[in-house]
Structure 1
């Protein structure tokens, strides 16, 4: 890492934080290597799998439009991207943040993120090595559901936001949309052979699929996030919270209440589970936009 990047990053690392600055990517030790954390490291340390994730996830125009509408410009701002992975968010949105800090547990991901403009640091999102109240924007995209304790991670992310700044999370599964039951649960259990058949041989290997599923701690039937989760976690910390349920087929209109329509495979599973696929509670993901109040 260039000396200027190291100097900028050091400004925002807490004085009592333990960080190894000798590595090519600074490392804050992971003191509690849980099964979930290890599963994420196992999946995201595989360069081939990470490249596939980078190429195909969160790179479409719907995603870009939605995030640009939610965030506005991040040019000349201090941004912390928690669970940045290989850098999908910046690769899709572009722009010129003054400092773009990428946090992840995978060094493979962080090396890729560094190559496109992130200032990376390896750390556990449950225990971030930063001072409080310094970031203009903190982002947590498709990451909360990979963590052991989502409320702790969300609170840690919120801690970094300066007064007047904003915290944005997205692409964590809405619990009510994924609560498969009966025939819907049966379809969920046999979905992999069906996906392979439908993809005409282009579906990922069983090994990759199993590793991916193991990393998604709270992306399982009956698990996920709720609107109440965001309000109850962030409002006591001084945030004004707005939550937007949405499917993945709509862009900026998400912020006007258009939550779109899920793909047929999800709608079928919901129908078989007794879930009204046209309802707000059936929207697959929740986006949270939380602004910290300036006092």
Structure 2
């Protein structure tokens, strides 16, 4: 596959027509009856809760090929930003959603306001240690074992997760994702890929909040004056290599507009497929 095709082609043909996708995202955006937390309760993610969720529903379908009958795992589900719009797409009989997060408040809200209405949506707190979100956690990210059987999910979501993970934990997460994905299942991941254009700020329009600087000789880029894991970028190629080592094949890599170039999404999007039946 050429670089141009890799950067622009969808992973698979969208499972529903474009007019249906547009109708779904508009319906999510304007449905005032959908659960929504108060602004004081939202502890992660910028932007409008409903608008961001609707946008990503479209990305999951168009770029990730998400089907209504898929079994979905949302790693770092927070307070339901991705779960709420997915309630309007996943088939209540065939589709299934599991969300995990280390923050009790988000899990409690999702269990209270989403699961009673949508019983195929379940949420679980996983006490993973993280210096920003769960500093007293008992499970080291280096020893992560997701509480699910092998080959249990068709679609795994990691939005704004590797943007807060040190590099020695990234491969651990990705190997666990490969373990739980079915053959042909997909990982949908967002990241900050620091390519030449981003590192040099070639257009002068890079998001000023992301004035990344390299951390020594390693692959990481941090934002000065912020906690190390507040926003983390990686050298272009680092995540591709980590995915390959985990047994996942990159099928789409679409660079976002945070670097100052035109794109239909903010962070960079990588979709990877589980090709084998096991390691």
TM-score bin, normalised by smaller chain: 0.5 to 0.7
**8 Å Cα contact 2:171/2:243 also seen in 1:** no
Partner residue of 2:178? 158
Q: Which runs of 5+ in 1 are unaligned?
A: 1-45, 191-212, 248-260, 268-276
From 217, 220, 234, give the equivalent of 2:229: 217
Mapped pair 1:285 → 2:279: no
Q: Which runs of 5+ in 2 are unaligned?
A: 1-37, 116-120, 129-139, 212-225
Distance 1:144 1:246, change over 3 A: same
Partner residue of 1:38? none
Distance 1:122 1:47, change over 3 A: farther
Partner residue of 1:240? 249
**2:44 & 2:163 partners in 1: Cα distance?**
20
Q: How many residue pairs align between the two structures?
A: 193
- TM score, norm. by length of structure 2: 0.56
Partner residue of 1:121? 124
Partner residue of 2:240? 231
Query: CA shift at 1:179, angstroms?
Result: 3.8
Mapped pair 1:173 → 2:192: yes
Partner residue of 2:97? 100
Instruction: Tell me whether 85-94 or 231-240 shows the greater mean CA deviation.
Output: 231-240
Query: CA shift at 1:289, angstroms?
Result: 1.0
**8 Å Cα contact 1:59/1:92 also seen in 2:** no
Partner residue of 1:79? 72
Q: Could you list the runs of 4 or more consecutive aligned residues of structure 1 that deviate by over 4 angstroms after TM superposition?
A: 51-55, 187-190
Partner residue of 1:30? none
Cα deviation digits, residues 85-116 of structure 1 (max 9, x gap):
11111223432253211110001111222222
- TM score, norm. by length of structure 1: 0.54
Name which structure has the greater RCO, CA cutoff 8 Å, separation 6+: 1
Query: CA shift at 1:226, angstroms?
Result: 4.4
**1:131 & 1:64 partners in 2: Cα distance?**
26
**8 Å Cα contact 1:47/1:108 also seen in 2:** no
Identify, as 1 or 2, the structure richer in helix.
Answer: 1
Cα deviation digits, residues 66-99 of structure 1 (max 9, x gap):
2221233442322111001111112234322532
From 35, 48, 58, give the equivalent of 1:56: 48
